[in-house]
Every structure is written in structure tokens, then in C-alpha cells.
């Protein structure tokens, strides 16, 4: 757990937002607190859904343990690390939870290790579907409820706040298709709208910030130099030795362009164009092709942020919606809220970057401007 | 001006939000302050658009005078009063500004009365189109910039806040079709999105709140009883005698159901159904028809909020958009922001109320529920 | 109760702080909410002090009723009104609670009228000493806990905030001298310090603001003109007709200097000197004497704010302290906190005003400056 | 500079306040921003005090450079590090600024290295006494103005906030004894009071928090184990290799009780008694003596926080006061504000801790309680 104190919640975002230095550790405590409030609210409203008081107490402990541990599998700089090493943090979580040290900690909390794991990795067979949604669900999870507020606070982005008190107070359990599902009371629709909007705002302002994205790209290159063998950290004991600061230490010893760029915060790439309002992808594709033709593939980087998109407010499709109490039973949030319906569906935010050392940035921007006209 | 101290900015909304007791007077000061900040920002960025320093100083005084006076034509409970008396507040403004007392005040500010009036009523011939947008424009006016923040603060609705500092800092003037138009720098797009979203949230939470709407409906009936002759207040000198508190005083003397309902805060109507996510009007129309058939026209009230809709975030159509700086000149905000494009266009929020004394509310709700399926 | 909607919590302070338009009504709701939280906290911590569950439920209802009604006896512009009419609001409360209408309201809440009255007027024989402290005590009353936060919020004075959550969470009941007394847990000392400091800040910034004080002085004169007979409002039925707005209406009909000054917000007095740091009264007395000698008694006003001083943070003397949990039983807050000890004791804030129309203000200030040197 | 990103502003305080993870780097940026605002305000008010525009521009650059670099000499865990290694951060600053790399950076900012150093170390001969006060003065320095707000924000201690906008707006320069001195306008007195109070609150809540103090004590022991030779880091090049995270790494390799305690966050000491309201030191001395007699010197730790006391709000003695504009020239802030006078002077906060492994904590507390009675 203490390793999380040395993983920054927002990776390199502190290069664009200097105060974004908060760790995954404080986020884990926050998610635990948020989830506890959500659980107590659900228990008050739907006491029968949790069995007798011993069963309810067990589920409360279980939820808290899972939220505390939900990010334990993250490596340094999370997504960049995963891409280089190829092991998703969910699998890491499994390995780490199997460690004696962690197992003993979980046992001391009087919960079953497998139950904890099921909630964190989102096991569809978990006997606790509502808790699973609170831990790893795509919409109303305590993880997201905390990190949105926390990231907004520590970056200072005021528009990332939402009405968390009202949202938690409106949480309800419904039976949908014979299973328990998380949802909200009709009075919570505006709070849910504020939650969905806050997600949108945080993506637009912070998570997709071009400075952060650019340095993450460079970091990706540098990590490949630190770990030329992608299996270097396969061993859990080795993996656990690493955190953000050790990576940064190691970069000091490496004499490659990427490591030097990070060390000296050199802006290797420049933003040529961004497309955050595309309803079709053609302008993006046209610019991308034109830049590549003019400057060569190796000098153009098209950032489609694909790894982040699953965290977007648009993940309301399929059975992954939020249910809202209605006079005839629960209904899809998109039916009762135009705003949510409109912000749902697929998004296509893209950014085009060019390498400064090889490209005339002004020319690249002119090319894109003439094509986007 | 001092009369505005006795007109509540949000009319009867204090019946739903007890602390919403702020007056149009404090709003006028706030709009003046917001507009001054906006002006200084524009002058810094586009100094040539304001002529020499004497011309610029005149325009600054003019803008401030107009914002201070922009609500002077409002009567008690604004919209309800207008509907009963039939004289729009724009015409009242004209009459009031013509009064000696006000004219002298304006002259003391060293600005032309007609220039002030042109900005407030949105005269298309005003020689100051950018200032006119700041006073009475449909989108980036200082009026709205202040009242959204202010109403959010005094109701306590956290989600109504937006990033006003960033929005003001991004204001720019553009030439569009040979005329000066107000717009924003590309860096302000997220702030503009937060502004548009805050408007949406305030409408959803406050301005269309069913309790407020219901009491405004009852007030409308009661005002007809206070002023059986709709021309009673045609004379400006008479009009100026009236404010919220005098209306409330008068209600104490009237023995009609509407006056009694307001006096004792009796909920005359009950909400049978609301439609805040309709992309088509059919479910609303079906319910409306069914309720009327079952309970009679006089016991059903369909609130389409038509008078408020022009203040909605959806007023971005036609030439009424916000311009955003682009590499090839200013572009429509809807082109650079999916969020704004999605929240633009027409809205159809509707509510159906029934009279409690004559209608079985539970039955009315069942009827609507069965039709909304 | 609804009359409180037309009494501003801060009287004329809106002339210095334009947004300070909040009413005693919203404060009454806030005090009720704050007191309920305090009660629930005490019940959780000291369940045995409240008798069986029926007794505890009764006391909860009683406390809520008393807080809701605690300001019912205030007339328009509270203190000014009391000074002119000579009837303290405590006696008014007694008369008002005796009214059929109010008695019935209280009976409907299932509490005894006399119990309510005992809490509001601070009856030393009240069988509920802890509740009495929460309603009308000199330090930890829910009245003050709400109005400090509320006045700070609506004036926008940031330094008036204190840590109310922590303060409420630290509330405890102690037995002191055989009676229940309100106090705090040792962990709440810093929150109590912030509470005491916030009081100090609000007095310095708002309650003693020279503009407000000056207009209150003028109002006092004007009220004497509205009610030349000090017994004019002795009858409760007459008293109840009056609120802030009726007083302001009446001022429009009176042609005296004081009424005209208020109507036109003319600054009749100018501040010649203020003494907010006197540990002895001599500099004040010297200036006061010199001004009176030079300009005459009728042109000098020495504001000692005596009526407000009982609300000051210095009311910790005698048995009116706050008790703090200690290893050997409860101790006086001044023993565990230097800050509280230092802010306790008597205060001597004074202001000297002169009448502008008769006095050369600059000369008056020079006189005071030369004596304060 | 980048090393500051790896020094936490509040050292080990994150063990008591989990979100207090902000670095000295973000504080340096904040101090620079705060100081710039202060400078621009002073320049607006006292333009003649800064010479011609080139001189003023130089001083602005100088102030910004000094604030950016003012903490460059801090080692890991600042005070603990200094105590073990014996080299004060002021001397380190001198050494570091002499480095080629830093000198070049300073030269690129077009300011003189010696001028920068003079401001940071508070050289009494500095030709820029007002700037020196803004950088390293005992009261109105931009360093403190930033860190109080920042530490309050990142710990979440609401009572640590003060009215910084008003304080900065009231800054003025005065001539006192033939020299420029920093002070405030009379309207800023309440803001200054809020500043002084916020300092008090932050010391009471955060800087002297017993958990933090205890771990700092243990850290002190552990550092002695990491650097058995106190001269180990005398060389600047060696010193610069160290940051918080390297210290924590090293603790993992050491098998001593102190290192193990920190690694596992074991509470080695327990609080036996604290004395934050002593006007005399006798109760503290009695308890200290009694504990030492009963449990032995090595098991008792008397924390007098002497190293921190110079940062206390009480540093207003001698010529180190804040000057306030008065009718007869600048006066000492303690003369115009009772609050500041009362919070000035010497403080004697003390805490007594005992070693848990060797002492019966309950007994120790009983001993102290009986003596403090």
C-alpha cells in the first residue's frame, strides 16, 4: 500500500498543473471514504438487499477493503508502464493480492481475498454485483466519484466539481433483469448530470491536456529505454520495487533523447491541430495524412487517447447505463436526461503533434488550418 | 434604482430555496462589475477597436451606466407582472429613462441617454454593437455572467458555478460580416463550455423548479385580482410605486383563493409528470390530453416555460452564436465544441400539473406513468 | 413566522455590504438545522443525559421549535426599534407566543409552550439547561453558530468562517456544579478557537462597520419621528403589522432630516476617529471631550456599541465559559487556550463621529490625530 | 530547482494529513506569484520608491528570481536534516547559488547573483530593504503569504485561510527611521488580523500536530543512522543528490529501531500531556520532572518546538513589527489592533511524550493530570 504514496495519481500532469502532486495513496483513502458513504446510504434505503446485519457488516468491510486496494496493481506512470510492459494492472492486482503480506492484511480485515479480487477486477460472477459496481463499475463507482473531485481540487480546475453529496444521497438499488443494479432516485438526476459534465470537463481540461499527453508520449519512449526487455518486471517482487521516483532516478542515468527531454522538460512535440468537436473523423484524417506526407511518419504523432477513452463520460452504452427510478420501474438515465443522452455515445477527440526538431511548426499548423477550413 | 432593492432577483424562488432573497439591486452592481472587467480585458486585447482614449473612456462609462440600469424596467415579480399588465420591461425601461430624475442621473455620468437605452433594449442600430452584446446579447452578456454566479451562490446550487475568470480573460473582439462581434480566444473554449453547462444546470435546478413554477402560476392569478384593470399601471408614476413587498402587502387584503394560497403557501397544484428529456413532444402531448379528458381543462396546467426559454443555453442559433478565434478567422463555437453543439438547439422541457383540490394526484400520476411507458 | 421574511438579519448593513439582504427567516431555518445537528451529536455521545427515547424525542422537538421561533419577537431593525419603543424582544416573544395562532402552531409540534419560552428567554429555572444553552446561551448556542456563518456568507467576508463541522462534532455534555453544561471535547479546542476568532472578525468587519453604525444612528432618529409615541406599538396586534419594508415605506412620507438622509443615503456623520485597540479609555475620552468642546455636544456622536457588546466573543466571564473535557474533569476553555484567554475579557471598541453639515471633518480628524499621537 | 519537486513542503505531515503531499517546487511558484502581485501593488501605490522604469523593472525581476530560489538550500525533511548535519539552509543557499548551473540561470534572468542572495538570506546591508522583507522578512513576506494558504489548502484545514487579496491590496511602503519599510494601509488591519490568526491556527493544527512532531523526532534519530558522519553531505555535489524519496529509500536498507519505526509507521512515542495555554512554564516543568524521575530521561521527550518558534505569529517584537498608516505617520500594528497585540509576544507551547515500549502511557497521563490539576 505504501508504494502508492510514491505513485502520483495524475502521472506527469504536474508538468502542466504544478500542484497536481497528489498520490494514489490519498486517492485510495478517498475512494474508501466515498464508498463507505455510498454503502451506508444504500443500506439505509434498501436494507433488505444486504441480508442480516452480519451479512451487511461483512459487505461493508469487503467494500472498504476493495476500495483501499483497488489501485494496488498500478505501476509507475500507470498507462505508460502498462503499454511498455504489457501486463494490465488488473493482472498485477491479482498477483499482488496473492502475496503473503497482502493476504495477511486482507485476512486481518476479516474479508475473503477472492471476494476482494472479484470486486476490483470486476468479475462478472461476483456474488456482490452492486458492490462490484461501486468498485469497478463504469459509471457510479466510488473510484471515479473520488478521483474527479480530487483531481479537480489538486489541479485547481473549478469546473471539475460536481454535487457529490446529492449524488450519494440519491443512490438506490434496483432489480434489473433479476440482478441488483446501482442507480439513482429521480431527485438525483441533476446531480448525475453534474457528475457526467464534470467528467467531460476534466477530460477536456486535464486528462487530455496537450502538454501532459506530449510528455507521456516521450515517457513511453524513455520507459522502453529503461526496460529494453519488456519482461523485466514480470516478477512481482521486481515490479514492487518500482515507483514514479525510481523511474525518474533512472532517467538521470540514461543518455538517450527521450530521457534527456523528460529530464530537462524539453517540448519534443508541438501541437499542430486538435479535433475535440469532430462528429466525423474526416478533417482529422485529412490533416494526419497531409502532415505525414509532408514531414514523414516518424515526425507526426496522432494522439487518439484510445487508452483513456474507456474512462470517458460516454461509457453509458449497452447494459452499462445508470438506472433511474421511474413510475414504472427503473429506466435508462439517457431517457430522463437530454444532457446525458447527448453526452453519451462515442467520442473522437484527437490531437495531431509534430516533432519540433524536424518540422516547421508554423507550416504544420498552416497545413491543418487550410484543411480544416 | 433603489426600487430594485425591493425586487427579488428570483421572484418567488425563495419558497423553494429559502436563502434566495437577493435583490435586483445587488445583481445590477454585480453586472456592472462583471462588465467592467470584460471591457478592460477587451480594451487590453483590442485597443484599436475603441478609438482614442477619450472614446474608450466614454464607452467604458456608457457600458457601466447601461449595466447599472439594465433591469430598471422590471416590475414586481417580473415575468408574472408583464404577463398580467402586458407591457414588456423594455418599454418600461424607455419610459423610466425618460424621467427627469433618471435623465439627470445619466447626464451626471456623462453619457448619452439614447446610447444607454440602445444598449439595454438591444437596438440593432446601436453604434456600439460589442457593448450591446455585453449588455443585452443572447450569450456573452455581463447580465447573464453575473446572474448565473449570483443565483447559484444565493440558492446554494453548487453546479451552477462556472469559470468566470477564465471566460472573461478569453474575451476577444472579431470582425464578422463587417461588424464587431464578441467572441473568445481558443483557450477559453472549456470556460465557455462550463458557462453553457452552468446555464443548463441552473435552469434544471432553479429556474424551472416545480415549486417555484407552481407558485408563479398562482401569483399570476392573484395579480389579475390585484389589478383587474390591466391598464392600472400604465402610468409610470403609478408603476414605480410597486415592488414585491407592496404586492405581498396587497395580497393580505384580498380574499380570493389565489391570494390566500400564496399567503399561506398552499400547494394548489401537484406535479403529475415532467418531461425534461423529450426529443419529441408526443409523450407530453399524450399525457396532457389524457389528463384534460379525465379532469377537465381547468384542473390541468401544462407549463411550457415559454417565457423563460429565450434565456436558455440553447439560444445559440442563427447569428446569435459565440465566435471563437481560429486559424482561418472566427468560427462558430458549435464547430469547435461538441458539448456546445449538443446543448444548442431547441429544448422542450415541460411539466404537467393538476389542481389538488379537484384531482386525485395519485391517479393523475398513474395516468401519465402508463402513457410514458 | 412569515413576518421574519421581511426582517433583514443585518438591518441596514446592506448599505455597506450590498448582498447582505438575507432575512431572519432563513436564519431561523439555519439555526434549527444547526441545533438539530448539535442535538444528534450530543445524544450520540451522552445518551443517558436525555432520558428514555420518548423523552429524548420530546427534547429534540422542543429544541427545534425553540430555534425556529427564537427571533419571533424582533421588530423591524431590531436594536434600533427596541431602543425607541423600549420593549425588549424577549418580552415581545412572550406576548407573541401567547397568541392563539402561535400557540396552536406550537401545540401542533407536540411541545409545551412554556418549555419553548423558557429556552428562548433563557429562563434560569428551565428544566432543560443544556437545550437552553443551545438556544440562548452566551457561547455555544446554535443561534450564533448559524448567524456567524450566514452573515459571513452573505456579506462575503471570508474571514468570518469557522470550522463548524468540527465544533459540532466535539460538543459534549458535562456535569458542572450538579447541573448539565454544554462543552467540548479536547479535540475541539482549535475549532472553538476558530469560532471565537470568527466572532471577533465579524464584529471588526461587519457588525461595527462605521457606515452601518452611522445609518443605524440616523435610523434611530427617524424611528422617533415615525413613532413619536413610544407606546404606539405596545399592542401586539399593532407590532405585528410592522416590518423593515413598512418602516422604509413610512420614511417616504416623512419630511424630516433623518428620514430624508436615510431615503437618499446621505452620510450625515463622518468618522473622526476609531479606537479598536484601546486597553485604556483615555485616548478616546480625550478626543471625545476635545471634539465636544470645539463643535458642541449635538454635533458629536460617541458610538460605544454598548447594545452589541453582549454578543462579543468576550462574553466568557463568570459562569458563562465554555467547558473543555480534561483528565480531571471539565476545565474552563481559557485555561486550555491562550487564544481564548486573550480574546476574553472586556472590550472597548469606540468610534467618534461628527455631523458633516456643522463640522469641518478634516479639522475634527486633526484634533483626534494630535491627541492620539 | 527540480530537486524541490521531491521535497515535500510539509515533510512528514502527510502521516497525519494524507493529502499534504505538495512540494517545495509548487510553493516556490506560488511565492513568486504572490510576490509579483505584492510588488505590482507597491509600485502602483509608491511609484517613486522604485526609481525610474528600468530600475523598477530590475527590482521586479530580482524579487521574482529570489522568491523562485528562496528554498533552494533546503535538504530532505528540512529541519531534521539541518539538525543532523549542522549546516543551515541559508549557507546551503549560498553554496548552491555559486554553482555554475545556478549562476547561469540567474544571469539569464538578468539579475545580479549577489542581489538575489542578499534578499534570500536577509542581508541587513541589502540595498533593497523592502524587497528583502518580501522575501525573508519576519511578517509580510510572500513566502509566508503563500505557504499559509497552500498548507491550509493541501491539508484541508479551513481555518488556515486568510484574506490574501485584501492584505496584498493594502500593502504600502513607509519611511521609518530613514529606511523603506513594508506596511499596510489602515483599511488592511482586519486582513492583517486574519493573517496573524491564520498563522496561529496553522501552528496549532498542523505544524505542531503531535503525530507529525513524533515522527519528526524518530526521523531525526534515523537520519543520524543514515549519516553517521555529520559531514557526509558537506560537499554541495553530494548534498544535491538527496531528496525526501532518497532518504525514504535508504531507510529501507537500515535495520535500526528508528528506521523500522518510520518504515512501518509505528508510533514510538505517546503524548502524555500538552501545554498550549501556559502563561508560565511551571506546570510543564513539574510534569517533565515527574516523568523523567519515574521513567528515566531516555524515555521522555519534551518537545519545545524551538526550531519552529521563529515562524510563529509572535515574531512581532523589536523592529520586526508591521507598520500601519496613521494620521501622524506609520504606527506599530500592535497599537491599532488589540488582536495582534494579544497574539504577539512569546509563546510556550510544549508537548511531553513518552516512549511506548518502556512506559505505561496511562500512568504517565495520570501523573501529568494530577500535577496539572
DSSP collapsed to 3 states, C75-131: CCCHHHHHHHHCCCHHHHHHHHHCCHHHHHHHHHCCCCHHHHHHHHHCCCCCCCHHH
- Whole-number Å distance between alpha carbons of D198 and D194: 6
Residue A198 lies in a domain: yes
pLDDT band at B345 (very low <50, low <70, confident <90, very high): low
Chains that touch A (3 or more CB pairs under 8 A): B, D
3-class SS of residue B176: strand
What pLDDT was estimated at residue A33? 97
Instruction: Based on DSSP, count helices (H) and strands (E) in chain D, helices before strands.
Output: 19, 7
The strands making up A179-184's β-sheet, listed across from edge to edge, are A171-176, A179-184, A323-324, A331-332
User: What grid cell was written down for D117?
Assistant: 542572495
User: What grid cell was written down for C307?
Assistant: 447594545
Among A23, A245, A249, select the one facing D21 at the smallest CB separation.
A23
3-class SS of residue B182: strand
Q: If residue A182 lies in a helix (H) or strand (E), which one and from where to where? A: strand A179-184
Show residues of chain C in contact with B25, CB under 8 Å: 18
Whether residue A172 has pLDDT greater than 50? yes
> Quick count: other Cβ atoms within 10 Å of Cβ A305?
18
The reply to whether residue D29 touches residue A14, judged by beta carbons under 8 angstroms, is no
Q: Which residues contact B325 (CB under 8 A, 6 or more apart)?
A: B172, B174, B183, B184, B185, B186
Q: Residue D311 gets which letter from DSSP?
A: T
Find, among D286, D257, D250, D261, the residue nearest to D211 by Cα.
D261
The answer to whether residue C21 neighbours chain B at the CB level (below 8 Å) is yes
3-class SS of residue D59: helix
Strands C269-275 and B350-355: unpaired
The answer to whether residue B114 neighbours chain C at the CB level (below 8 Å) is no
* Mean pLDDT in residue range A20-43: 96
Q: Please give the mean pLDDT across all residues of chain A.
A: 89
The reply to whether residue D5 touches residue A22, judged by beta carbons under 8 angstroms, is no
Residue C30 lies in a domain: yes
The strands making up C350-355's β-sheet, listed across from edge to edge, are C269-275, C350-355, C300-303
Show residues of chain D in contact with C338, CB under 8 Å: 276-279, 347
Q: Decide if A74 contacts A143 (C-beta within 8 A).
A: no
The reply to whether residue C14 touches residue B29, judged by beta carbons under 8 angstroms, is no
Q: Please give the mean pLDDT across all residues of chain C.
A: 89
Whether residue C278 has pLDDT greater than 70? no
pLDDT digits (tens, 9 = 90+) for A245-303: 899 888 888 888 899 999 889 999 999 998 876 567 888 899 999 999 999 999 999 98
Phi, psi of C270 (to 5 degrees): -120, 145
Q: Decide if A142 contacts A120 (C-beta within 8 A).
A: no
Min CA distance, C298 vs chain B (Å)? 30
The reply to whether residue C277 touches residue D342, judged by beta carbons under 8 angstroms, is no
Residue A24 lies in a domain: yes
The reply to whether residue B277 touches residue A326, judged by beta carbons under 8 angstroms, is no
Q: Which residues contact C63 (CB under 8 A, 6 or more apart)?
A: C35, C36, C39, C119, C131, C134, C135
What pLDDT was estimated at residue B340? 85
Interface of D with C in 152-191 (CB under 8 A): 158-159, 161-163, 189-191
Range scoring the smallest mean pLDDT among B184-188, B351-355, C210-214, D334-338: D334-338
Residue B240 lies in a domain: no
**Percent of chain C at pLDDT exceeding 70:** 93
Q: How far out from the chain centre does Cα A163 lie?
A: 20
Find, among D350, D315, D79, the residue nearest to D210 by Cα.
D350
Q: Decide if C342 contacts C242 (C-beta within 8 A).
A: no
3-class SS of residue C176: strand
What pLDDT was estimated at residue C314? 47
Strands B171-176 and D179-184: unpaired
pLDDT band at B316 (very low <50, low <70, confident <90, very high): low
Q: How far out from the chain centre does Cα D183 lie?
A: 21
Q: How many domains does the structure of chain D reveal?
A: 1
What pLDDT was estimated at residue A66? 97
Find, among C165, C167, C158, C173, the residue nearest to C196 by Cα.
C167
3-class SS of residue A331: strand
At which residue does the C-alpha cell 469497478 appear?
A136
Size of interface A-D (CB pairs under 8 A): 28
pLDDT digits (tens, 9 = 90+) for B173-213: 998 888 888 999 988 998 999 998 898 889 888 988 999 99
* Mean pLDDT in residue range D128-137: 94
The reply to whether residue C327 touches residue D369, judged by beta carbons under 8 angstroms, is yes
The answer to whether residue D36 neighbours chain A at the CB level (below 8 Å) is no
The reply to whether residue A18 touches residue D29, judged by beta carbons under 8 angstroms, is yes
> Quick count: other Cβ atoms within 10 Å of Cβ A371?
18
Residue A290 lies in a domain: no
User: What grid cell was written down for B270?
Assistant: 401537484
At which residue does the C-alpha cell 441596514 appear?
C12
> Quick count: other Cβ atoms within 10 Å of Cβ D372?
18
User: What grid cell was written down for C209?
Assistant: 462597520
Min CA distance, C135 vs chain D (Å)? 25
Residue D331 lies in a domain: no
Question: Which residues on neighbouring strands pair with residue C363, listed in sequence order?
Answer: none
Find, among B371, B185, B186, the residue nearest to B292 by Cα.
B371
Whether residue A36 has pLDDT greater than 90? yes
What pLDDT was estimated at residue B208? 87
What pLDDT was estimated at residue B86? 84
At which residue does the C-alpha cell 465544441 appear?
B337
Q: Which of B190, B322, B340 is the mutation pick for testing A, counting most A CBs within 10 A?
A: B190
pLDDT digits (tens, 9 = 90+) for C331-344: 888 888 878 887 77
What pLDDT was estimated at residue A314? 47
Q: Where are the alpha helices (DSSP H) in C170-299?
A: 189-202, 210-226, 236-239, 244-253, 257-263, 282-295
- Whole-number Å distance between alpha carbons of B259 and D194: 49
3-class SS of residue C358: coil
User: What grid cell was written down for A246?
Assistant: 525510481
- Whole-number Å distance between alpha carbons of A45 and A183: 12
pLDDT digits (tens, 9 = 90+) for D172-222: 999 888 888 899 998 899 899 999 889 888 988 898 899 999 999 999 989
Among A5, A19, A245, select the one facing D22 at the smallest CB separation.
A19
The answer to whether residue B19 neighbours chain C at the CB level (below 8 Å) is yes
Q: What is the CATH number of the domain that holds D146?
A: 1.10.3210.10
DSSP states along B71-133: TTT--TTHHHHHHHH---HHHHHHHHHHSHHHHHHHHHTT--HHHHHHHHHT-TT-S-HHHHH
User: What grid cell was written down for B195?
Assistant: 458557462
- Whole-number Å distance between alpha carbons of B81 and B223: 7
- Whole-number Å distance between alpha carbons of D211 and C17: 42
Q: Which of B160, B201, B330 is the mutation pick for testing A, counting most A CBs within 10 A?
A: B201
**Nearest chain C Cα to D340, which residue?**
C277
Whether residue D319 has pLDDT greater than 60? no
Q: Decide if A39 contacts A173 (C-beta within 8 A).
A: no
The reply to whether residue C279 touches residue D338, judged by beta carbons under 8 angstroms, is yes
Min CA distance, B371 vs chain C (Å)? 40
Q: To 10 degrees, what angle do helices B129-136 and B113-121 make? A: 60
What pLDDT was estimated at residue B182? 92
- Whole-number Å distance between alpha carbons of D139 and B47: 40
Residue D335 lies in a domain: no
Min CA distance, D283 vs chain A (Å)? 39
Show residues of chain D in contact with C347, CB under 8 Å: 338
Residue D52 lies in a domain: yes
Q: Decide if A269 contacts A301 (C-beta within 8 A).
A: yes
Whether residue B287 has pLDDT greater than 80? yes
3-class SS of residue B245: helix
The answer to whether residue B27 neighbours chain C at the CB level (below 8 Å) is no
The answer to whether residue C95 neighbours chain D at the CB level (below 8 Å) is no
User: What grid cell was written down for D122?
Assistant: 536577509
* Mean pLDDT in residue range D278-300: 89
Give the range of the structural domain holding residue B170, as residue numbers without chain letter: 2-211
* Mean pLDDT in residue range C33-58: 95
Q: Which residues contact D373 (CB under 8 A, 6 or more apart)?
A: C328
Amino acid at each position: 500500500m505504501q508504494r502508492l504514496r510514491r505513485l502520483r495519481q495524475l502521472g506527469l500532469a504536474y508538468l502542466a498543473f504544478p500542484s497536481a502532486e497528489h498520490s494514489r495513496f490519498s486517492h485510495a483513502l478517498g475512494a474508501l471514504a466515498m464508498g463507505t458513504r455510498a454503502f451506508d446510504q444504500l443500506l439505509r434505503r434498501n436494507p433488505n438487499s444486504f441480508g442480516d446485519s452480519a451479512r451487511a457488516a461483512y459487505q461493508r468491510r469487503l467494500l472498504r477493503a476493495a476500495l483501499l486496494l483497488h489501485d494496488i496493481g498500478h505501476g509507475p506512470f500507470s498507462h505508460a508502464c502498462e503499454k511498455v510492459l504489457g501486463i494490465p494492472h488488473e493482472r498485477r492486482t491479482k498477483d499482488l493480492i496473492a502475496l503473503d503480506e497482502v493476504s495477511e492484511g486482507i485476512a486481518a480485515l476479516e474479508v475473503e481475498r477472492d471476494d476482494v479480487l472479484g470486486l476490483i477486477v470486476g468479475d462478472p460472477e461476483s456474488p456482490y454485483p452492486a458492490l462490484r459496481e461501486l468498485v469497478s463499475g463504469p459509471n457510479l463507482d466510488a473510484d471515479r466519484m473520488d478521483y474527479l473531485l480530487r483531481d479537480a481540487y489538486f489541479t485547481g480546475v473549478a469546473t471539475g466539481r460536481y454535487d457529490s453529496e446529492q449524488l450519494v444521497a440519491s443512490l438506490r438499488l434496483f432489480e434489473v433483469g433479476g440482478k441488483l443494479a446501482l442507480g439513482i432516485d429521480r431527485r438525483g438526476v441533476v446531480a448525475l448530470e453534474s457528475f457526467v459534465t464534470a467528467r467531460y470537463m476534466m477530460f477536456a481540461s486535464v486528462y487530455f491536456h496537450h502538454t501532459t499527453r506530449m510528455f507521456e508520449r516521450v515517457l513511453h519512449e524513455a520507459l522502453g529505454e529503461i526496460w529494453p526487455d519488456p519482461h523485466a518486471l514480470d516478477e512481482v517482487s521486481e515490479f514492487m520495487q518500482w515507483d514514479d521516483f525510481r523511474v525518474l532516478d533512472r532517467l538521470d542515468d540514461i543518455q538517450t533523447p527521450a530521457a534527456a527531454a523528460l529530464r530537462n522538460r524539453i517540448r519534443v512535440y508541438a501541437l499542430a491541430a486538435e479535433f475535440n468537436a469532430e462528429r466525423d473523423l474526416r478533417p482529422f484524417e485529412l490533416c494526419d495524412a497531409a502532415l505525414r506526407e509532408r514531414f514523414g511518419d516518424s515526425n507526426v504523432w496522432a494522439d487518439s487517447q484510445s487508452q483513456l477513452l474507456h474512462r470517458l463520460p460516454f461509457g453509458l452504452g449497452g447494459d452499462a447505463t445508470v438506472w433511474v427510478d421511474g413510475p414504472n420501474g427503473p429506466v435508462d438515465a439517457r431517457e430522463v436526461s437530454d444532457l446525458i443522452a447527448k453526452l453519451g455515445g462515442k467520442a473522437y477527440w484527437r490531437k495531431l503533434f509534430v516533432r519540433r526538431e524536424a518540422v516547421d511548426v508554423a507550416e504544420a499548423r498552416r497545413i491543418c488550418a487550410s484543411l480544416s477550413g
